[in-house]
Structure 1
Amino acid sequence: MPRVTPAVLVSALALTLAGCGATAQGGSDGPGAVSGAAPSPAAPATITVAANNGTVEVPTRPQRVVALDNSSFETLEAFGITPVAAPKQLLPENLGEWARNGDILDVGTHREPKLEVVAQAQPDLIIGGKRFAKVTPDLQKLAPVLDLAPSTEKDGYVDALKKQTQTLGEIFGKQAEATQLITALDRSVEAAVKESSGQRAFLANHNGGRLDNGAGRIGVLLQPLKVTDVFETKADNASVHQDSGLAPETVAQKNPDVLIVMDRDAAVSSTRDTATPASQTVAAQKAWAGTTFMKNDAIVYLADNFYVTEGIQAYTDAYTKIADVLGKSTGTSS
């Protein structure tokens, strides 16, 4: 399909809105609707948000939402929001209902975004994110774009998750639900911090049936903990797509106390149904037989969909698992 220029998209959107009149806001029962929300007024109230893409004036209780940010998908779903468009190939398996919903338009992937589909969806808010950051300027010509996605290449990931959740709660009138999610995260982090006491960890990425250094993507998990990365890896989102040539013997020489595994193979739509489970690949590493983490069974397997979620629910689950494994390995878990 030929790429449609932003100018053409804006013109097409204006014509579509003129022809559709009041239906552009959508009904309370259709995609984009917020459970329990009143219909959008003629001049909806707005709030000003400091986002990754600058200061954004955002409508409150928007009725037609395009969801592009994987770290907020589960939060939107928890708030009872059904988007009018989303990147269906990037949706986690637990949001299969969105993927199967024919009323939700498919905007493609971040590699080949279909901006004309976003225009067709007639959004009054686009929730952007790191995967779609390059097309944010084009998207801003269609509707307000709000990018609150936490960055794995910056400090303070947990605080950024809480800010993201709180802000979305304010926008959609779901403050109570947002508070519940934040409280659950705080409790899981507190439990993990309590069990951390200077342990050394190898953060692995299971990709292509092999285990590589995944600290560039999941190293932020250690930020609030008294746990260090055995390789002291610099944060780098792109590293999960690369083969660093790390040998199992190199990991064994470092002898980590704990292994934390992100299974990218299990998360990606093209491989998740046929991939070897990460646990099977770990068990097959003969060089690791004598390591501390293998002898103590101190292995944390992040949720299969972690790579395509990375939101507050994913990190709450991760810290809960880390607390449990660290507690068992030190004999302090009840």
Structure 2
Amino acid sequence: MKILLNSNNSGFQAPGGGEILLSKTKEFLLKKGIDVKLFDQWNDKLEDFDILHNFGLSNNCYDVINVAHNKKVPIAITPIYSWPSLKFAFKSGTNFKDKVKLGGYALTHNTPFFNRFTYASKMLNMADRIITDSKAERDVIDNSYKLNKDKYRVIPYAIDRRFYDSDSKEFVEKYGLKDFILYTGRIEPRKNVHKLIKIVNKLKYPLVIVGGKNYQEGDEYYKLCVKEAGDNKDIIFLDRFDHDSTMLGSAYAAAKMVALPSWLENPGLSVLEGGLAGANILITSRGSPKEYFENYAHYVDPFDDKDIEKKLVLAYEKDKDNKLREHILNNFTWEVATDRMIKCYKDLLN
């Protein structure tokens, strides 16, 4: 069985959760003895592979998926769906141009009459398997695109079990920080970082933000976040840690809680990792988080400042325990997810 992996061709210029999913899928498939590689457009021939597995629904993936479809190469897609929303568009855009762009995207993709003309619709229709992270993601795609239900398979996202053994010592010794609120990831509008800073400023809690200031749309939002933090010495910005570094796990272990009040998450790899390292969790209610964290997390309405403020206090003041750690360890590690993925591939080929 030869598997070819593909994704947005600019994704690794500012890697986030989707790129980690792709890289870790490759890593753990190789550990299971599966012949898998990343697509090399200069050398690879699609017909030499048994399955093309595409991560995401970026328009620039369409040509590769279309060629695979025409060559009758089975196609699996992990959508990493954005759940387009007009409310999100008007709340999150950093300027009028952004709001119009996001609003147009939401109108186009949420309406079956219009979305049939989108690249996302064309790619999903060509897919032989649509591998969603949750029932919630499956249902929202199905409601919008009305696809053959036999295409869907639900395989939850996963994380490295190494985070279970993370030690706070490395981070504390370097930065002198402990028991803070941690945000780690892209500093972009969808993550609602600006609102998090605004509310933490009011609460006077320590906040550490770990993430690159540049993502694919530039650094305008990062500058907005820095401006909101102002001269508050308890809000600290650190550059992105390499995902495989021990420092990332140490930061999770040193934190009192990990916060991700995003407009949407599927389900948020940083909170899965932080939860496995022992931190308390605050996460958006929009998306698939409740299928992962059940009753072990504090959920917020990302549009409601008072709800975020209330839940931040609850999560920060709560003592840490091992219940969430054990739940994540037993259900959402790569060892579990990779076996499910291999079964999905085999079912597709049969």
Give the TM bin, normalised by the shorter chain.
0.3 to 0.5
- Relative to the length of structure 1, the TM-score reads 0.35
- Relative to the length of structure 2, the TM-score reads 0.34
- Quick check: which one's helix share is greater? 2
Which structure has the larger Rg over C-alpha atoms? 1
